[in-house]
Amino acid sequence: MRERFWESVPLAEMTAPEWEALCDGCARCCVIKLEDEDTAELHYTDVACRYLDCERCRCTAYAERSEKVPDCLQVTPAFLAQRSRWLPQSCAYRQLHEGRSLEPWHPLLSGTAQSVIDAGISMRGELVSEVLVHPDDLEDHLINWVR
């Protein structure tokens, strides 16, 4: 990876390792979201996709995720151009797409994944799997991230 590539290389010109390194592993994109029918506003829940290992904060079906979960977000430059709002404000892809800088807790700056947990960004241990929640009860699981 090029040195401090996130500061100078456009998203569309990053190599695959650079692109992957932007993901901080927070799993915020793996929670079920509810969309307000009137305003299109998105609301996050603390309910995770059935394929997320909620304790390790890792996808257990990463290679075949698009087949298993058709609405799993496939983050690409084209996706960012159209639907970046579907990613949380804290997501590095959204931050760079919007011209913002990475946060100090991002592993590329801190040098450790632990900083994502320490900053309260990681969803590790914070979520319940969708297999344990009835769809009618999702509104009881709305959460609001302060950042």
9 vs 72 by CB, closer to ligand SF4: 72
28 vs 124 by CB, closer to ligand SF4: 28
Nearest distance from C-beta of residue 31 to ligand SF4, angstroms? 8
Tell me which residues touch ligand SF4 (CB under 6 A).
23-30, 49, 51-52, 59, 61, 65, 68-69, 72, 75, 87-88, 91-93
Nearest distance from C-beta of residue 73 to ligand SF4, angstroms? 7
Q: Which residues contact 87 (CB under 8 A, 6 or more apart)?
A: 28, 29, 73, 75, 80, 93, 94
Nearest distance from C-beta of residue 38 to ligand SF4, angstroms? 26
> CA nearest 25: which of 99, 100, 115, 129?
115
11 vs 88 by CB, closer to ligand SF4: 88
CA distance 57 to 88: 16
Pairing of strands 42-48, 31-35: antiparallel
72 vs 108 by CB, closer to ligand SF4: 72
Q: Which residues contact 141 (CB under 8 A, 6 or more apart)?
A: 45, 46, 47, 128, 133
Nearest distance from C-beta of residue 30 to ligand SF4, angstroms? 3
